[in-house]
Chains A and B, each alone.
Chain A
Amino acid sequence: MPEHDVTPSAIPTRAPSSGARVFSLPASAWPAALPIALITAVPIMVLLAHLLHPDQEIWQHLWQYVLPELLINTLWLVLGVGVGVTLLGVSLAWLTAACDYPGRRFFAWALLLPLALPAYVTAFVWLGLLDFTGPVAGWLRETWGMTWLPPIRSRGGVILVMVLALYPYVYLTARAAFQGMGPRLTEAAQSLGLPRWRAFFRVALPMARPGIMAGLMLALMESLADFGTVSVFNYNTFTTAIYKSWFSLFSLPAAAQLASILIFFVFVFAVLESVARSRRSYAASTRSAQTPRRIALKGASAWLALLWSAVVFILAFAIPIGQIGHWALNVYGQDLDSRYLEFAWHSLLLSGLGALLVVGLALILGYAQRLQPTPTMRLTARLATLGYALPGTVLAVGIFIPIAWLDNRLIELFGLDGQILGGTLIVMLLAYCARFLAVGFGSIEAGLGRITRSVDEAAQSLGVIGGRRLTRIHLPMLRVSLLTALAMSFVDIMKELPITLMTRPFGWDTLAVRVFEMTSEGEWERAALPASVIVIVGLLPTYWLIKHTEHAHT
């Protein structure tokens, strides 16, 4: 430390960018920030290299036999899910944010609950229920003699299940947008002679569009990244094709080629999402602090609103959760054995280590950005957190290729045998970090933002600097953000399927992997047991999210 303890200028302040103006810190933050960004940057670059330099032979094969089906399936999926989540999300958001009808208070938060269910869990429940041999089909046959049921194992089935699992993304952002704008503007539109329903379409909806778009893009990115749902349904998309190329055809290059195409699509959505997000801040700036005067729905419209909310809630949450509970109770007697302790232990270990790592790296990145708030540093942080957009299958391939290369170099150099890094927990943890760093970073960045420059300076002027400032001010003020980041990344890693499946050490099963294996054998009841643990753990951050969003608006 030099004789003067310099208050880092990076700290958020009301003055416009005070970046370079105070003297620079002695040490640069680059040595800390750069390696973190590389965890995400290397896989992306490896795959982009595959996109730019396609292997002719593989490309020809893919183009002829694989890509047409994948492209058509993906297109339908994106279209169907896009339309579906927008309809569900926006309509429910408007009803709960701007209207009043029986049950509105309950549905306002309950409609977020499906976030706790991984899409692959919702998927296997509905498949198990509606399949030919399932209870619903059986009941229809026995009671009504109906032998025909719309086939659930179809494009429509996949889309329907995914809409039920992903609509909360749009619901969340659209609702925030509707609530943020308050009733003023629709009232202004009405005073200018527009009927209420046209005021909604002419004013409220356009203003909420950036929020809706942001949620929609997240939902679409999730649908592209989804591996569990589509494999339960045997619906071929890029993610399943990547998995099959690697693990059935043992062609890592083909997997990489497919991953490079998928990454391209995903980035289109990611860019649209960030554009929408930046617009959202403008839209939100007009918010008024008053309590909204809700439109009181009466008679038939109130009943329709109640019915619509209830149907979505029941299909997306109540039935899946009830069915999982039911199945899990059926089988736990015979199925719950010592192997489950191992699955749970593996899940716990991975999620715990992964979450600690994610939060540690996010903390370093957050401080690097705080100490050195240059545009390049912000770009680096943005790059480091880009992994949230990468499908797990893509990341698995993107991380495995450089690790395998490194292994080969090490083997050549030291004359070693077999895999050194490949097939160890290190690969999985690196992939988790890349995928979920954004989750931890978002929370920590927000937490650091609350420690304003004047708070730091207040401590300094009272004689508290350096390490004591860290322990007396920063850590206590960051505590909630740190816990949030830990909990969120813990649950996300626990639910995560493709990375775990594709990069785990041989025979190293977790709860999520167990769900996948049981569902691929159609053993719905036995899949429900590990799924129930994942869901229960997943309810925690959902509860937290609900508490926070509801708190902000009541």
Chain B
Amino acid sequence: MLTLEHVAQSYGAKPVLKDVSFQLKAGQIGCLLGPSGCGKTTALRLIAGFERLAGGAIYLGGQVIARPGHCMPAEQRRVGLVFQDYALFPHLSVAANVSFGLSHLPTADRNNRIHEMLDLVGLAREAESYPHQLSGGQQQRVALARALAPRPRLLLLDEPFSNLDVELREKLSLEVRDILKHEAITALLVTHDQNEAFAMADVVGVMNEGAIQQWAAPYTLYHEPANRFVADFIGQGVFLPGTVLNDKQVEIELGVLDGHIPSDCADSGGCGACAKSCKVDVLVRPDDIIHDDDSAMQAEVERKAFRGAEFLYTLRLPSGNRLLTLVPSHHNHAIGEKIGIRLDIDHVVAFRQ
């Protein structure tokens, strides 16, 4: 449905997007996730048609909507937008906001569509209210209804939940996902909050410094990060130094792990075997470490953070390296205490040092 091919953009001499490519299938919800200044909002504005790109091409429904020298005007793209600040028209009622993009419809159809939309977002009773009379979450849903009303081919959401309370954010992101899935809307969301991305999106592109670092499902991003940035940015974890034994095994101080070896290690000598003794950093997530009182492997509790159902312990290994582990909260250990741990790593993720 939506395809970006080698899209590039720069402001003056400063490149903000370099060679961004990805594809979104019809009905899929995608997400661009990254720290502020990574270029994700620029990508969104290019797709919306508010900026012209410097290189590459954007296709929507098989049609080129943007390439250098050609830019289909935003108002002709049939791309709906939900803005971070909602951008509701303050002088118009909720119903008038929703009907704003429907002026081409006959009155009866328009009214039907307004009601349909307001029912969908659960605001049928607020039709005659004005934006300032609504709560943040309600305004957000009006913005969604307004964007969906003209049946856009694609819906773009710019940090749609960042102005809401944390609890509301989670509830609403699931609600919005249900609505989008119910209507089979193709949507692209931009956010810096990975919980939001994971709750909403089928597929997530992690961005940094103007480039997509990895385009994958949330599960893959977490367990098989393509590079150090993604490994760092997504989830928690630490890197432990390790040494490659052969093309399948890495040794760290907690034992020998089976898994993939970084390709740049394998390439260093031109053959797989030469990767031997290549120094790597191995990603260890908190859920890779299991607390086991019977284990011979011991680590000292250095810090602990109570999280209700579990503790997040920071452990100190005899070598001085630190580990994070999540432990059910009935295992309440004192700081300084030594506890037994064992490794339970499913996917070995290692990067050359």
Contact = CB atoms under 8 A, between A and B. Distances in A.
A457 B100 contact: no
A4 interface: yes
B85 A452 contact: yes
Contact of B84 (A22, A23, A454): A454
B48 A461 contact: yes
Given A23-B52, A454-B84, A457-B83, A463 B101 contact: yes
A465 B50 contact: no
B168 interface: no
B85 A462 contact: no
A472 B101 CA distance: 12
Contact of A462 (B12, B49, B150): B150
Interface in B137-152: 146-147, 150
B74 A7 contact: yes
Nearest to B72: A4
A460 interface: yes
B254 interface: no
Contact of B150 (A455, A457, A459, A463): A463
In this complex, the member of A14, A454, A476, A477 whose beta carbon has the largest number of chain B beta carbons within 10 angstroms is A454
B81 A457 contact: yes
Contacts of A23: 52
A72 B84 CA distance: 59
Contacts of B85: 14, 452, 454
Contacts of A268: none
A473 B84 CA distance: 19
Q: Which of A20, A462, A463 has the most CB of B within 10 A?
A: A462
B84 A464 contact: no
Nearest to A19: B11
Nearest to A450: B90
A21 interface: yes
Contacts of A22: 50-51
A20 B80 CA distance: 26
Interface string B1-40: 0000000000110000000000000000000000000000
A521 interface: no
B125 interface: no
B91 interface: yes
A57 interface: no
Given A3-B73, A4-B73, A5-B73, A457 B91 contact: no
Nearest to A13: B85
Interface string B74-110: 1111011101110111111000000011011000000
Interface string A428-464: 0000000000000000000000101011011111111
Contact of A4 (B12, B71, B146): B71
Nearest to B76: A463
Given A22-B50, A461-B75, A462-B100, A454 B87 contact: yes
A155 B353 CA distance: 83
Interface string A1-34: 0011101000000110000111100000000000
Given A5-B73, A473-B89, A477-B91, A458 B52 contact: no
B187 to A, nearest CB: 14
A3 B41 CA distance: 24
B198 to A, nearest CB: 25
Interface in A208-238: none
Nearest to A478: B91
Nearest to B52: A23
B105 to A, nearest CB: 12
A8 to B, nearest CB: 11
Contacts of B49: 4, 461
Contacts of B84: 14, 454
Interface residues of B, number: 34
Contact of A461 (B12, B52, B81): B81
Nearest to A458: B87
Nearest to B156: A461
Contacts of A5: 73-75
A98 to B, nearest CB: 29
A458 B83 contact: yes
Dominant SS among interface residues on chain B: loop
B74 A457 contact: yes
A7 B50 contact: yes
B52 A462 contact: no
B74 A452 contact: no
Nearest to A7: B50
Given A5-B74, A454-B85, A477-B89, A461 B79 contact: yes
A19 B88 CA distance: 24
Contacts of A476: 91-92
Contacts of B12: 20-21
Nearest to A466: B75
A454 B85 CA distance: 8
A455 to B, nearest CB: 5
A5 B146 CA distance: 21
B75 A465 contact: yes
Given A22-B51, A461-B48, A461-B81, A455 B89 contact: yes
Contact of B90 (A459, A462, A477): A477
Nearest to A461: B81
A455 B51 CA distance: 16
A27 to B, nearest CB: 18
Nearest to A468: B103
Contacts of A20: 11-12
A473 B91 CA distance: 8
Contacts of B74: 4-5, 7, 457, 460-461
Given A21-B12, A476-B91, A457 B101 contact: no
Contacts of B104: 463
B50 A462 contact: no
Nearest to B104: A463
B101 A462 contact: yes
A371 to B, nearest CB: 15
A479 to B, nearest CB: 8
B41 to A, nearest CB: 8
Contacts of B147: 461-462
B71 to A, nearest CB: 5
Contact of B80 (A4, A14, A455, A461): A461
A462 B82 CA distance: 11
A459 B103 CA distance: 12
Contacts of A7: 50, 74
Max chain B Cβ within 10 angstroms of own Cβ: one of A4, A5, A458, A459: A458
A454 B143 CA distance: 12
Contacts of B48: 457, 461
Nearest to B82: A458
Interface string A472-485: 11001101000000
A473 B100 CA distance: 10
A162 B147 CA distance: 57
A15 to B, nearest CB: 8
Residue picked from B12, B52, B75, B76, most chain A C-beta under 10 Å: B75
Closest 6 CB pairs of A and B: A462-B101, A454-B87, A454-B83, A458-B87, A21-B11, A476-B91
27 contacts: A3-B71, A4-B71, A4-B72, A5-B75, A14-B85, A20-B11, A21-B12, A452-B87, A454-B83, A454-B84, A454-B85, A454-B87, A455-B87, A457-B48, A457-B50, A457-B81, A457-B83, A460-B74, A460-B75, A461-B80, A462-B100, A462-B146, A463-B75, A463-B101, A464-B75, A464-B103, A476-B92
Given A20-B12, A457-B81, A461-B77, 14 more contacts: A7-B50, A14-B84, A14-B85, A20-B11, A22-B50, A455-B89, A460-B50, A462-B101, A462-B150, A463-B101, A463-B150, A464-B100, A465-B73, A476-B91
Interface of A: 3-5, 7, 14-15, 20-23, 450, 452, 454-455, 457-465, 472-473, 476-477, 479
